[in-house]
């Protein structure tokens, strides 16, 4: 069974086959074996190539949080059919929220011409204010949010089209 995970916008796959008491695992051209000694309360005790490894694992929809030897990784499981594109690629002129928060002000409206570096809107989170600025000269095509609205990280806020 082949599974892929995204980490830092890179995809990695592994292929897992039940074997003996555990599994045989193929990652690229490497073959490893793993056995689960214990699995409870979000903690796994594993034997990977006969080395004892303790992992804390949490599952939240597609997200996987893994801590091994004090280092924490957030991976995203890729669904079988739909291969994900890199983030932001499908929204050439779209500006996404760099952090979750609340829209504090919207400075532009649809049809307005904007200059590179111009502040389009501001988001506030945890006492920090972030200015969302135009990456290039252009015209505001869509404004997806309004003042006071709560936004998620990576949510598209405004879309800028080419200047006429």
Partner 1 sequence: MFNKILIANRGEIAIRIMRACKELGIKTVAVYSSADKNAQHVQFADEAILLGDAAPKESYLNVEKLIQAALDSKADAIHPGYGFLSESASFALAVESAHLTFIGPSADSIRAMGDKAESKIAMKKAGVPTVPGFEGLQTKAEFKKAAKEIGYPVLVKAAAGGGGKGMRVVNAENELGEAIESARSEALNSFGDEGLLIEKYLPAAHHIEFQIFGDTHGNLVHLFERECSVQRRHQKIIEETPSPLLTAKLRDEMGQAAVSAAKAVNYYNAGTVEFIFDPQLSSYYFLEMNTRLQVEHPITELTTGLDLVHWQIRVAAGEKFPFNQTQLTQRGHAIECRVYAEDPANGFLPSTGKLLQFIEPHGPNMRVDSGFAAGDEVTHFYDPLLAKLIVYAENREAAIQRMQTALREFIVHGVITNIDFMQDVIAHEDFTQGKVTTRWVETKFDWKPLGLANEVLIAAELGDLKLSQRLQVAGLGHEVYSPWKSQNGFRIGVGK
For residue 161, state whether it binds partner 1 (rule: CB under 8 A). Answer: no
Of 144, 143, 139, the closest CA to residue 161 belongs to 139
3-class DSSP assignment, residue 64:
strand
Query: Could you tell me how many residues of this chain bind partner 1 (CB under 8 A)?
Result: 62
Tell me how far apart the alpha carbons of residues 141 and 5 are, in angstroms, rounded to a whole number.
34
Q: Does 113 bind partner 1 (CB under 8 A)?
A: no
Q: Which of 17, 59, 91, 161 binds partner 1 (CB under 8 A)?
A: 59
Query: CB under 8 Å to 49, separation ≥6 — which residues?
Result: 32, 33, 34
50 binds partner 1 (CB under 8 A): no
- The SS3 assignment for 62 reads coil
Verify binding: residue 107, partner 1, rule CB under 8 A: no
Q: How many CB atoms lie within 10 A of CB 114?
A: 21
The single residue among 80, 82, 89, 126 that binds partner 1, judged by CB under 8 A, is 126
53 lies in the binding site for partner 1 (CB under 8 A): yes
In degrees and rounded to multiples of 5, residue 150 shows phi and psi of -90, 135
Q: What is the CA radius of gyration of the chain?
A: 22
Q: Which of 29, 50, 61, 146 binds partner 1 (CB under 8 A)?
A: 61
Q: Which stretch binds partner 1 (CB under 8 A): 31-39, 80-88, 105-113, 136-144?
A: 31-39
Choice from 50, 83, 85, 127 touching partner 1 (CB under 8 A): 127
Judged by CB under 8 A, which of 24, 78, 96, 99 binds partner 1?
99
């Amino acid at each position: 069974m082949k599974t892929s995970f995204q980490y830092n916008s890179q995809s990695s796959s592994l292929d897992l086959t039940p074997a003996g008491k555990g599994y045989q695992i193929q990652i690229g051209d490497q073959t490893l074996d793993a056995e689960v000694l214990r699995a409870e309360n979000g903690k796994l005790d594993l034997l990977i190539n006969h080395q004892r490894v303790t992992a804390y694992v949490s599952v939240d929809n597609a997200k996987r949080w893994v801590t091994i030897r004090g280092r924490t990784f957030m991976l995203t499981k890729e669904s079988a059919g739909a291969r994900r594109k890199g983030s932001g690629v499908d929204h050439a002129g779209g500006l996404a929220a760099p952090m979750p928060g609340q829209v504090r002000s919207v400075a532009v409206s649809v049809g307005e011409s904007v200059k590179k570096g111009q502040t389009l809107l501001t988001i506030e989170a945890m006492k920090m204010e972030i200015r969302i600025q135009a990456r290039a000269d252009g015209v505001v095509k869509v404004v997806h949010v309004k003042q006071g609205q709560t936004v998620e990280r990576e949510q598209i806020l405004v879309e800028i089209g080419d200047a006429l």
